[in-house]
Structure 1
Amino acid sequence: MRFSANLGFLWADRPLPEAIHAAKAAGFSAVECHWPYDVPTEAVTAALQKTGLRMLGLNTRRGDVAAGENGLSALPGRDKDARAAIDEAIAYAVAINTPNIHVMAGFAEGRDAHKTFVENLRYACEKAAPHGITILIEPLNKYDAPGYFLITTDHALAVIADVGFTNLKLMFDCYHVQLMEGDLTHRIETLLPSIGHIQFASVPDRGAPDQGEVNYAHIFSTITRLGYDAPLGAEYKPGGDTDATLSWINDA
C-alpha cells in the first residue's frame, strides 16, 4: 500500500514546506492539501523536488469562511466567484504539478443549485483538461457539513453524468461515505471506475485509521485486490502530535 499525507490535518501546525518534509520522513509516498494559496508555489515546489513527493490534490477556496461558506460552485448567482476560485486552483496546480483539484460545491440545495454546479464543473473540466488535471467532487457527511449540496455517492454520480466530461471523478472519502451510506466494500467495488482519489479516517471521530468502527485492514486489502494502486489519502485529525499517531502506516 502507498499513502498520501493530507497536510490540511497532518502536521497542520507546521508551514506547508516543512510539513512536506515531515511526510517524507514518516514514510508517505505523496502529499495532498486543502488550501495552499497563501504559500508561494516556489516554496512548495522546492520542498516537493527535494523530497521526491508529489502533491496529489488541492481544493478550491471555500469563499467567505467568516460568513460560513464552504465552497462556491453550487451557489446560484456566485458563478463569477466560483470560476475565479477554479482558475486560481488550476493555476496553482499547474505551477506545482498537481494532478487533481477538488471543486467544492458549498451549502445549497434544489434544481438551481444542481444546474449551477453542473455548469461550473463543465467550466472547470474544460479549463483543466489541457493540463491533464482531473476535477474531483466529494460528498460530505451531514454531521460535519449540514446543508452541503453533495452528501451521497449516488448524487455525485448523477452530477458526473450530467456534466459529461471524462476528467470529472469522484473523491471517495471512506469516512464521509461510512457515515452517510456504509457498506464500504461493495461501494468501492461498484464505484471504482468513477473514483479519482480515495481518502480515509476512523469513524466516527475522524482520527487515525487504527481505531473506530471501520476495519481498514480489510478496506485496504479490498482496494489492493481491485487493482487500485494510487496512494490513499490519510485525511484524519491527529488530535495532537501527528508523529505519535503513525503506527498504523507500518502495519499497513
Structure 2
Amino acid sequence: MPKFAANLSMLFTEYPFMARFAAAKKAGFDGVEYLFPYDFSAQEIAQELEKHQLTQVLFNLPAGDWGQGERGIACLPERVEEFRSGVEQAIVYAKALGCRKVNCLAGKKPEGLSDEQANTTLINNLTYAANRLTEHDIELVIEAINTRDIPGFFVNNSKQAVELIKQVGRSNLRYQYDIYHMQIMEGDLAKTIERYFQFIGHLQLADNPGRHEPGTGEINYPFLFKFIDAQGYDGWIGCEYVPANGTEAGLGWMNK
C-alpha cells in the first residue's frame, strides 16, 4: 500500500493551520504536504514536524498572488526575477523543514502571450530552479492541472509535462502526477501512470467528480493503489482532496 501524506491546505481545515499537524498524526498520517508555508516561520513549522514526528513531503514554490487568483508565475516572461526570488525563498524553507521535494506551478497563460513564449519562459525557469535546487539535494516537480478547475492553466496534461522535463534535461526535475486532475483531462489512469512512470516523482489523489476522498466518485482506487504498488512506486501520495463531510469522518477509505 502506498504511503499517504495529508495535504494540510485541504484536510483538517476544521483546525487552525498550526494545529493540523497534530490532527494529521492522530489520524494516522506520517507525512504532510500543503500549498505554501510562507505565511509562517520555518522554525515554527519545523517544531510541529519534530513534535509529531512527521515528514515534510512537499510544498509549492511561491506562486504569485494566490488570493487574487494567480496560480503560478513560471510561464510569465515579465515575472522571471520574482520567480527566481521565490526559488531562493523555497530553498530556505525546504532546508529548515527537511523537505526534499518542491512543486512548480506553471500558472495561467494570459491573453496575448503565445504558447511559444510561455513555453520558452517556463523551460528557462525550470532549468534555473532545477539547477539551484540540485545544489541542496532537493527535487523539483512540475504539475499538470485540469483546465476545468483552473481555466487557462498552461501545463494541463501528462505528455506536455513530460516533454518539458525532457527539454530541461535535469535529473532532479520530475513529474507530479495528480490522479484527480488527469482523470479529468485524459483518463486512462493506469496506462498513463505506467507509460510515464519513470518520470513520476510524486503522486496526489482525489476522487472525481467533487474532488472528495477516494470512494466518493468514479475512480477505482483499490485497483489503482495495487497497480501503483506493482509499478514499484515507493514515494508518497498526497491526499489533496476536499473532505465531503469533515476530514476524520471521511478517512474510512485509508483505514481499509
Q: TM-score, normalised by structure 2?
A: 0.95
Alignment of 1:1-252 (within 5 A): 1=1, 2-108=3-109, 110-251=115-256
Following the alignment from structure 2 to structure 1, what is the Cα–Cα distance between the partners of residues 38 and 69?
Answer: 19
CA positional deviation for 1:180: 0.3
Deviation string, structure 1 residues 146-176 (Cα, Å, up to 9, x no partner): 1011000100011111111000000000000
Following the alignment from structure 1 to structure 2, what is the Cα–Cα distance between the partners of residues 5 and 176?
Answer: 18
C-alpha RMSD of the superposition: 1.2
Following the alignment from structure 2 to structure 1, what is the Cα–Cα distance between the partners of residues 245 and 41?
Answer: 27
Following the alignment from structure 1 to structure 2, what is the Cα–Cα distance between the partners of residues 51 and 180?
Answer: 37
Letter in 2 for 1:179: I
SS for the counterpart of 2:135 is helix
Following the alignment from structure 1 to structure 2, what is the Cα–Cα distance between the partners of residues 14 and 40?
Answer: 18
Deviation string, structure 1 residues 211-244 (Cα, Å, up to 9, x no partner): 1000000000001111112221111001452111
Identity score, percent? 38
Structure 1 gaps of 5+ residues are: none
Following the alignment from structure 1 to structure 2, what is the Cα–Cα distance between the partners of residues 12 and 91?
Answer: 26
Following the alignment from structure 1 to structure 2, what is the Cα–Cα distance between the partners of residues 65 and 52?
Answer: 30
Residues matched between the structures, number: 251
CA positional deviation for 1:141: 0.3
Is this contact kept in 2: 1:16–1:39, CA < 8 A? no
SS for the counterpart of 1:145 is coil
Following the alignment from structure 2 to structure 1, what is the Cα–Cα distance between the partners of residues 68 and 96?
Answer: 30
Deviation string, structure 1 residues 122-164 (Cα, Å, up to 9, x no partner): 1101110021111011000010011011000100011111111
Following the alignment from structure 1 to structure 2, what is the Cα–Cα distance between the partners of residues 24 and 68?
Answer: 31
Structure 2 gaps of 5+ residues are: none
Following the alignment from structure 2 to structure 1, what is the Cα–Cα distance between the partners of residues 14 and 99?
Answer: 22
Letter in 2 for 1:16: F
Following the alignment from structure 2 to structure 1, what is the Cα–Cα distance between the partners of residues 68 and 26?
Answer: 38
Letter in 1 for 2:140: I
Out of 39-48 and 139-148, give the one that drifted further: 39-48
Out of 41-50 and 15-24, give the one that drifted further: 15-24
CA positional deviation for 1:12: 2.6
Deviation string, structure 1 residues 2-26 (Cα, Å, up to 9, x no partner): 2110111001343333111111111
Following the alignment from structure 2 to structure 1, what is the Cα–Cα distance between the partners of residues 98 and 29?
Answer: 18
Moved over 4 A (4+): none
Letter in 2 for 1:131: H
Following the alignment from structure 1 to structure 2, what is the Cα–Cα distance between the partners of residues 153 and 80?
Answer: 27
Out of 35-44 and 152-161, give the one that drifted further: 35-44
